[in-house]
A and B are shown apart, each in its own frame.
Chain A
Amino acid sequence: MRRILAAVAAILGVLALFAGGAPERSADGSSAGPPKPALSEVEGARRQISAPASRWRYSRRAAGATFQTVAPVELAEWIRDRKPNLRVVDVRSEAEFDEYHLPRAERFTSSTAFAPDDTIVFVAGGERSVHRDVYVLRGGVHAWIDEVMNPTITADAPPSTRAAYERASIVSRYFGGVPRVVDKLPAARANATAVRRRGC
């Protein structure tokens, strides 16, 4: 019986070697396979990024903005499909970038991070090198994690939501995310916060 237990453990352990995903640390951008953040990194990011990820906050920020926005799932498809001349620039701090960043994102090096109400001006060489296709990722990294890495849907969702979920799931799995059907949408980390406060 002990041998059986040991054998099962050994098999599951060895299989885990192939299921863990590749570390996403090399920033050379020339990796052979798809850029897959390891699941543990996503989990770590999910926990460490402290602001709560609630959906209504995203649209509020985008209202009245003077730039184009791109939704996380669409950006994910651009990255997956290696959209030509795509540059994904992360304007958060170095610490935040190191914690977690999108696949193939580059960190914008500046002494100070950008604030939400900054006016950002791209300065190019002249008319010929004007940048036209400039986007802001709607909802930022939080939305990426919520909608691309952990897309969820309730069992009784209407067909339109279901279609969006299917689309998200395809690209989610590509990046090592985990799409899920849930009883109710993640109401939260209320559970985790309570435990965090009181310990074990």
Chain B
Amino acid sequence: MNPFAVAALIGIAFGWTLERAGLGSAPKLAGQFYLTDLTVFKVMFSAIVTAMLGAFWLSRLGIVDLSQVYIPETFLLPQLAGGLLFGVGFVVAGLCPGTSCVAAATGRGDGVMVMMGMFAGVLITGLAFAPLRQFYESTGRGSLTLPELLRIPAGVVVCGVVAMALIAFQFAERLEKRA
């Protein structure tokens, strides 16, 4: 099938699922950072665990060739700095790029504004890219994965992530009850 058609179909499922979880609503997302509503964490990590287990087992069974799937590359300093900045922007805006589109699609004016802000931020950073370039390209480590970094088998990492997530979910439930 046409790759763009696949993209659109996957996008529809993505947007639908986000809205179902309520992640198209900024106050709900912001609640994560005041520990009153941990939906963001629950959805995100349930998704990560599911896709991680799926990718691991499908590749083990020879159904998916993970070497043909693009794995986001590691750039230590830029992703650390960019992550911190992103987090700051996230708690101010209450929406991330994907969820801002969902919010906008459901009529939220603040969602539209976040999208416009994102566009402006990307545009300005791109235009002023020259001085950033050296930093941007520093500390690259290629497609480094946690198993390679920690020098332990992928299966051990997978099990560890599942364990951490399940334990964290318990904490999340308790935190929310106290809120």
| Contact of B155 (CB < 8 Å), options: A19, A150, A186, A200 | A19
A-B pairs with CB below 8 Å: how many? 105
Decide if B148 touches A6 in the complex (CB within 8 Å): no
Stretch at the interface among B29-37, B65-73, B84-92, B103-111: B65-73
Chain B binding site: helix, strand, loop or mixed by DSSP? helix
Tell whether, in the assembled complex, residue A41 and residue B53 are in contact, meaning their CB atoms are under 8 Å apart. Answer: no
Select the residue from B143, B144, B152 with max chain A CB neighbours within 10 A.
Answer: B143
Segment of A21-29, A70-78, A103-111, A113-121 engaged in the interface with chain B: A21-29
B158 in the interface (beta carbon within 8 A): yes
- Partner-contacting stretch, out of A57-65, A79-87, A123-131, A188-196: A188-196
Query: From residue A99, how far is it (CB to closest CB) to chain B in Å?
Result: 9
**CB–CB A44/B62 < 8 A:** no
State the Cβ distance, A45 to closest chain B Cβ, in Å: 9
Instruction: Count residues on chain A whose CB falls below 8 Å from chain B CBs.
Output: 37
> Is the CB of A40 closer than 8 A to any CB of chain B?
yes
A24 to chain B, nearest CB (A): 10
Across the interface, which residues of B come within 8 angstroms of A21, CB to CB?
153-155
- On whether the beta carbons of A189 and B153 are closer than 8 Å, the reply is no
Closest to A7 in B: B166
27 inter-chain pairs at a CB distance below 8 angstroms, sorted by A residue, are A6-B169, A10-B162, A12-B53, A12-B57, A13-B161, A16-B155, A16-B156, A16-B159, A19-B155, A20-B147, A20-B153, A20-B157, A20-B158, A23-B151, A23-B152, A40-B145, A41-B147, A42-B67, A44-B143, A47-B67, A48-B143, A150-B65, A186-B68, A191-B68, A192-B68, A195-B70, A196-B70
